[in-house]
Structure 1
Amino acid sequence: MEEQNYDKLKDALRQMSQYRAPEFVWDRIEDQLEQEGHLHQAIAALTSYTAPDRVWTHIETVLDRETKIRRLPTWGWSAAAGVAIVVTAALGIYQWNQTRGTVSYAYTVEKAVPHNSPRDWDSAEADVQEVQNRYAHFCKYQSQNDADCGLDNELKELNEAKAELVEIIAQYGEDPSLIRQLGELEVDRSRVVKAMVEKIQTS
């Protein structure tokens, strides 16, 4: 039974007509194979590309910036919120003033106090030197308290400061700010000299 069926199968296969694909199918397959071959050749002929260093530096900078933005600490957000609140409040106050139609300004007026020229102060320098000499004599022979003789050192410091300032004025001219500083030094020197005279007179 099995042999009869096998023979029938062989006869049926022999009687079947063979299938032949149309020519355009084989042409299409051949074209695709040629294209793949050209593609592989082109890929093999490609040279390796190395990006410039600046490209990698830019990429690292962008990544670092994104990381810093993602890792912004809580105090950074607090500071940003505080700045936003201050800016909002300032804008609100500005708009409120605009709607009121009034603007207030604050200003100060400083009157220029006339100072004598350094040449005028130099005329009293001989008197200051005389008081200083008498005060030194007082401290050496009459004073019973070392605390009474501290004015001499203070006057020496003021004299040195005055000498430096006078030298600057000689180089750069009688600038109002420099003259003002020199006037303040003269006020301090006058205070110290007056205190020296009082010490000498009360002895």
Structure 2
Amino acid sequence: MRKSTRLVAAGLAALALAGAAPATGASAAGHPVDRITTGGQSKVATASDPHLVHFQHLSIDQGLSPDRARLVVRRIRELYTFWDTGDVRYLHRADSPAFVDRTLPTGRPQGLRGIEQASRTFRAAVPDLRCTVADVLIAGDRVSVRQVYSGHFTGTYNGARGHGQGVRFNAFDIQQVGARQIVGDWHLEDNMTFSKQIGALS
């Protein structure tokens, strides 16, 4: 099978799973399918699981098989549905029990326990926190993800109480996907913007 044909198959497999429309110029007639666009945030996904988030843009490695594309897309959607909802069931579907945080912040427990703690901390500050998955790039066993978090600071953070300030900031992850689940990541959050928005920094 030629590379362009494999890419079409992989892209269409992920397309069916993501419930998205192919980008301009992409079709099953042999044009590369390397980007998938939904144009919305956290919309209804598929009939089988209407709760998974969508991606706004998705690019898929040419060498990925349809089965592999389907698995990786599913795991990434599950992970960021966890960040969008705080529901730990999605985290445990997405991430391996042996998951390793390779940019572990000081004081955060390693593994899934640390991820759960981070989610609780943010949701204590921003109870209506939402995660929009803006850009996803899948290449080999690595997935680059840009997320946009938004909500209102109505809770507490580091002893400070919110007054409804709006928050909106970016985060960037590289997820490593193993045979069945995500096994590790590298991540960077725009904590300075978040801190300024809640009044912790001038």
Q: Which TM-score bucket, shorter chain as reference?
A: under 0.3
TM (norm. structure 1) is 0.22
Structure with the higher fraction of residues in strand conformation: 2
Q: Larger RCO: Structure 1 or Structure 2 (Cα < 8 Å, ≥ 6 residues apart)?
A: 1
Which one has a bigger Cα radius of gyration? 1
TM (norm. structure 2) is 0.22
